[in-house]
Structure formats: C-alpha cells, structure tokens
A and B are shown apart, each in its own frame.
Chain A
Amino acid sequence: MLESRSGQRVLTGVHFMLGNYAVAEGALAAGCNFFAGCPITPANEISERMAKRLPEVGGHFLQGEDELGSIYAVVGASLAGAKAMTATASAGFNYMQEGLGYAYAIEAPCVIVDVQRCRGENFATQSDVMQMRWGASGDYEAIVLAPASVQELFDYTIRAFNLAERFRNPVIVMSETTIALMRERLEIPPAEQIEVWNRKYTELPPADYLPFKAPEYGVPDFAPLGKGYHTIYSLNPHDERGRIDWDPDVFERLYKRITGKIRENRDLICHTESYHLDDAELALIAYGSEVRPALDAAEMARDSGMKVGVLKLATVWPVPERQILEVAKQCRAVIAVEMNIGKYAGEIERVCAGVCPVHKATRNRGLIHAPEELYQFIQGVWA
C-alpha cells in the first residue's frame, strides 16, 4: 500500500494501521512538512514513517542528536514557515521541556507527540499528564489532546496542527504505548474533506507591522518571510514590537495574552464526548486509552441496571471545566479514571468541589484498567 502510493500526501481509504503510523499520516494530511526527532521507544515508528514519507511529498526529515536538538529544530522550522512536528516518549519529553518553553514564549506553532511509557520501560501509563501541562518553565497554557484509538491518533494529530496554527501555540498529542503500538481500522477521508488551518500572515506593510500586537486575548499575525519584515523572537518579556522589555506592565500584558488566548478560547479548544450520560446518575470521567475500559464497564453496569455514563475528555488541557461541571451537577458522584497515581483526578476534584463527590479509579502498574475492575469499582460506588 505504502510503496504503490508513494508521493501522495493523503492516503485516502480504509487501512489496518499501526497507531504510530496513523500519527504520521495525520500529520501529513494536516500539511506537516518538517519533522525532527530522536530515536526512542515506543515512538520510533513515527520517525521511521516520516523519514520515508516526508521526502516523497517534498517535506524534510531531520534526526536530531538528541531531543533538545529536535525540539529546537522544530521551533526553527516553524518560524521559517513550516508545519513542524516532533515525536518522542516520556523520557525524551522530559528532555524537550526547555525548547517547549521557548516555543510557548515566542508563540511558535508546533506539534509534539508524547507516547507515554513507564520510566525506562515500555509499559502502559498516563503519568505524563501533568508534565504536559506544567513541564516547561514560565507562564503558558498548554493544549493537550488525548486520543483513545488509532483513528483518533490520526484525527487528533490533524486537530493538533490546526489548533497550533490557529492559536500560535505548541499542541501536544498525548499518545500512549497502548494505542501507539496497536493496529486498528483507520479510515482516511478524501483530502478535500479534511479541514486544514493555516497560520495567518499580516496584511500590513512592514512599516506598520508590530509582530506581537494582537487583541486583548488574541493571536498575533505572522510576518511573511523574505518580504522585509523584521521580528525578534525572544524568550524574554517583549513588547508588541518584539523588543525585550523588563517593564512589569509589559511583562504582565504579554503573559496575560499568551495564557488568555488559550483560556478565553476554551470553548473552541475543548472537546469532549458523552456516552450514556442522558439519564446517568454516576459518570466515569476518562481520557486516552482508559476511555475504552471505561465504556465497557459503563455498559456492563447498564446491563445490571445501574445508570452509568462516561465523559470522555478528548481535550485534557485546558481542562474542559464546563463539560465536567455539567456532569457533576447531574450525577450523584463521578469516578475519575486514569493510569497513574491519580494526577488529573485532582483537576476533576477541583472542578467538582462542592457539587458532587469524586472517586478515584487510578492505578499505576504498567497496565490499563480491565473493564471488570472498573465495573467492580462502579459497584462499590453505586451501593
């Protein structure tokens, strides 16, 4: 399949594809033309696929000497106008944080895929969920999408590029060993049916253009390249002209906007899906691959007469507070499901505080929850 259709950017059709390959195909479909990465399991197949596919469609693949080199290459490519991506796994994601902080501060659109693994081993986990939000230094808001299937790895990678371009922010695709190394049905739509966003370039002449001028919680327009515009991309606090300025007011305005452009646009960014929630008295709140056993467990509970539903957080950061709160208001209690020591559960507790109790079905032993385990948990809460 791949060989016979080399040179095509969008492999329209039905596939039985590896999760990591689906990420690469999603990136290509979204217009990605630059990839930099460093070998790390279980993210390697993304790099390998990009190394093969990108040159065929006129893009560029670069293997960095390490993760830090890779993320900075991605930021550089982004500033040069490319739709750029990197992929790594937990330990490598640690190593990228400095470059990621730079990307947030200069508002460089880029996509980072973190295939989470347990430290040093390739077992299933969701333990990077907080690192994805808070890993880099400085003030910023993260956009993190959590696919739960091979199809969603494809779909959400496209979405990640679109959000990155639209909001001039790094966007993280939170992958996991479970889905990255799984083969599943993947349907790739015709290219013309795929929504693709591209960054906005200014229409002002160079003399009138201010590189970081934007409405209060808005996104500044990029300067077209090679047309006489000058921009300094500095990690330091900068004013609308892009000049480094240590004035506390400038500092405050800048970070209010950089964080506000995400926070105030939460409704455009946050995406959740509801299952059996209409009459639910109890709801499981899950993200990523944990949505799968959560759904099975909810159905088992329904079969036993318990009114249980599932809220799937397709966007993990920013926290879909409105959607979580709606569920909290409707239910007797919610169950936070995740594959770590119970990190995101704290966010759910924060949102549900004073509205309904939050129970935590969290585990960190390198294994995804079995539906039966969650079902038993539901039984315990329901009683």
Chain B
Amino acid sequence: MANLKQLSQQEEFFTPGHRMCAGCVAPVVVRQVSMAAGDTPVVIANATGCLEVASTIFPYTAWRAPWIHNAFENASATLSGVETAYRALKKQGKIDKKVKFIAFGGDGGTYDIGFQSLSGAMERGHDIVYICYDNGAYMNTGIQRSSATPQFADTTTSPAGSVIPGKIQWRKDLTAIMAAHNVPYVAQVAPSHFNDLITKVQKAIAVDGPAFINAMAPCPRGWRYDTREGIEMTRLAVETCYWPLYEVEDGQWKLTYKPREKKPLTEWIKKQGRFRHLFTDENKELLEQFQQRVDEEWEKLLRRCGEM
C-alpha cells in the first residue's frame, strides 16, 4: 500500500515532455505503473498506438527504461523473445540482475490485432506483465471502433445515424478471457483508484509468471469529454459498475472495490459526446437496455467473486 507523498518522491520511468493529448489518461496509467514498479529494473515493450507514437517522437523519448517497439500486433511476442533471452543469459551466468518485463498496449493492439500473440505469451508462461491501456477505440488512427468499444458508442466506423445507433455489439470481456488463461495474476484497474492500481501492479510484478492488467484510460478526443475530467471519467465508470475493479489471483476472483451506492449508468455516459445520440426520445429504450446489461454483467461478477 502506497501513500501519495511517497509516490510523489518516486523516480518514474515515464518522463514529462511526451506529446500525449491534454486530458488523456494513458500517461497517468503509465506513471502509476511506474510508481508501482519502484526501483525494480524493467524492460518495456510497447505496441503501436497513441502511447508509442506520442512518447517517442524522433529523436526524443519519454522513457527512462530500455524500451522496444516493434509493430501493432506483437508486443507480447517481442517481449516473449526478450524475456526468454534474459532467462538464457541468466542461466549462463552472464546476467545476475533481476529484471522485470512490462508490455503496454492499447485496446486495438491488445483486444484485437495483438490478441493472438498475447494469448500465446500467456499460455507459454513468460514472466511478463502485460498492461492494456483501454481507451475503447483505435484513437491513434482516428477513433475507429474496437472490440473494447462500449456498445452504442459513436465512432468513425460505427457511426451513429439512421442505420445504426453507434456500435451494435457489447464489448469483449478481455479481463475474463485473460483469467481463463489460468495465469497467476489478472486484474482490472482504473487510475482514479490509484491505490488499488498500484497494489495490483505490484502484485503482478511480484508473481513469477505471466500477469495481465486491464486499465481504463479515457480519451478526450474519442469519448468527447472535457479535458479536465479524465480521472473523473474512470471514477464514474467504476462507480456505475461499468468498469468494476477486481482481481483474479491463482484462479480466485476477488472484488477489490465495491461502490457504496451503485450510480446510474447515465451519470457516466452523459458526460461523453460519443453517447450523445442516446439521450433522445427515440433512443430511450437503448439507454434502458444499456443499463440492464451493465446490471447483468455486474451481478455476474458479484457471483464470480462470491459476493452474492
């Protein structure tokens, strides 16, 4: 458990001067992960995405750690190679330092195109921590829907209009899918609950074997919220139970935060332009449908966590 004062004195591996947008929460996630890692030497792999592009505009870099970018679909595969080489060197006595391996990928590079390599790395059991900063669309290329995009969100490839009311499908439950890989540690986090996030990342780093963390990281351009409200966006997502905080440790599901009072979903989505079309008389039913599905998913999670 960390306190703010200690954390603020920590040297971070992600530095100011990067070019992420104002109000983007992805760098906040990265900084909290960095605080959690503390003095542990890390090697970072970054899938193609906003974070990769905006943190390494040649000839600059915002990273103080060894960092590797390969392509969109293969951060896990690349890091698998790095981690395997590390184990080989360690076995040969050519390296004695304990090094940890962290991958960052957005939802496009994690849920979609990078899913195969992620699944492979988890199954092979590499000692890596994969952190998905989930902003719910391909924001780097211009806000196209991904399998993490919430249902009904308006994106450039799921445009809300007379034919469809935004994205038709419910989002892929990647955290549960990663838990189904039976890896030692899987968790879902939000940077508004930084203590929970940092504790979970520390656990993920400490385990011997693969760990996966899904972090909500709102995007002001794609979600269309006031840039001041990035952290508020994740807080409301947690409080409305759209994005519950939980962990799966050695197969044990555990809810790590239970809102005292579950807020109505509209409190979260009314602040986002991507859901604006839902607040019309003709789409009232969709709004109810949306709330109902969130309730169902929440109850499913409560049962999994033995809370009901």
Taking Cβ atoms with an 8 Å cutoff, the residues of A that contact B are: 6, 38-41, 44-45, 47-48, 51-52, 55-56, 61, 63, 65-67, 91, 95
Contact = CB atoms under 8 A, between A and B. Distances in A.
B142 A63 contact: no
B113 A47 contact: no
Decide if the interface of chain A is mainly helix, strand, loop or mixed: helix
Interface string B126-166: 00000000000010111011010000000011110111100
A235 B109 CA distance: 30
A44 B156 contact: yes
Contact of A39 (B73, B141, B161, B163): B141
Contacts of B295: none
Contacts of B140: 41
A48 B157 contact: yes
B163 A48 contact: no
A61 B168 CA distance: 12
B172 to A, nearest CB: 10
Interface in B103-125: 108, 112-113, 115
A44 B144 contact: yes
A41 B159 CA distance: 19
A66 B112 contact: yes
B157 A65 contact: no
Interface residues of B, number: 22
Interface in B162-176: 162-164
Contact of B113 (A38, A44, A55, A56): A38
A151 B145 CA distance: 29
B141 A40 contact: yes
A16 B58 CA distance: 34
Nearest to A49: B156
Contacts of B113: 38, 65-67
B163 A55 contact: yes
B298 interface: no
B144 A48 contact: yes
B158 A51 contact: yes
Nearest to B73: A66
- In the A-B complex, list the 3 residue pairs whose CB atoms are closest, starting with the nearest: A66-B113, A39-B141, A55-B163
Nearest to B155: A51
A65 B147 CA distance: 8
B159 A47 contact: no
B48 to A, nearest CB: 8
A39 B106 CA distance: 13
Given A56-B163, A65-B113, A65-B147, A51 B141 contact: no
B171 to A, nearest CB: 13
A52 B161 contact: yes
Nearest to B139: A39
A41 B143 CA distance: 12
A267 to B, nearest CB: 40
Nearest to A40: B141
Contacts of B158: 51, 63
Contact of B159 (A39, A51, A66): A51
A48 B112 contact: no
A51 to B, nearest CB: 4
24 contacts: A6-B162, A38-B112, A38-B113, A39-B142, A39-B157, A41-B140, A41-B142, A47-B144, A47-B156, A47-B157, A48-B144, A51-B158, A52-B161, A55-B163, A56-B163, A61-B157, A63-B157, A63-B158, A65-B115, A65-B147, A66-B73, A66-B112, A91-B71, A91-B72
A48 B143 CA distance: 10
Given A61-B157, A63-B157, A65-B115, 16 more contacts: A38-B112, A39-B141, A39-B144, A39-B157, A41-B142, A44-B141, A44-B142, A47-B156, A47-B157, A48-B142, A48-B144, A51-B159, A52-B159, A56-B163, A63-B145, A66-B112
A55 B115 contact: no
Given A44-B156, A47-B157, A65 B112 contact: yes
A51 B157 CA distance: 5
A177 to B, nearest CB: 14
Contacts of B142: 39, 41, 44-45, 48
Given A52-B161, A55-B163, A65-B147, A41 B141 contact: yes
